[in-house]
Amino acid sequence: MRLRSSLMAWRWQLESQSGEPVTVDVEGAADATFPTRADAESWVGEVWQDLLEAGVDAVRLFEDDREVYGPMSLHSA
Domain ranges in the chain are 10-73
Give the type of residue at 55: G
User: Global pTM?
Assistant: 0.83
Question: Above 50 in pLDDT, residue 45?
Answer: yes
Contacts of 13 (CB under 8 A, 6+ apart): 21, 59, 60, 62, 70
pLDDT (average), residues 39-65: 94
Task: Tell me the percentage of the chain whose pLDDT exceeds 90.
Answer: 74
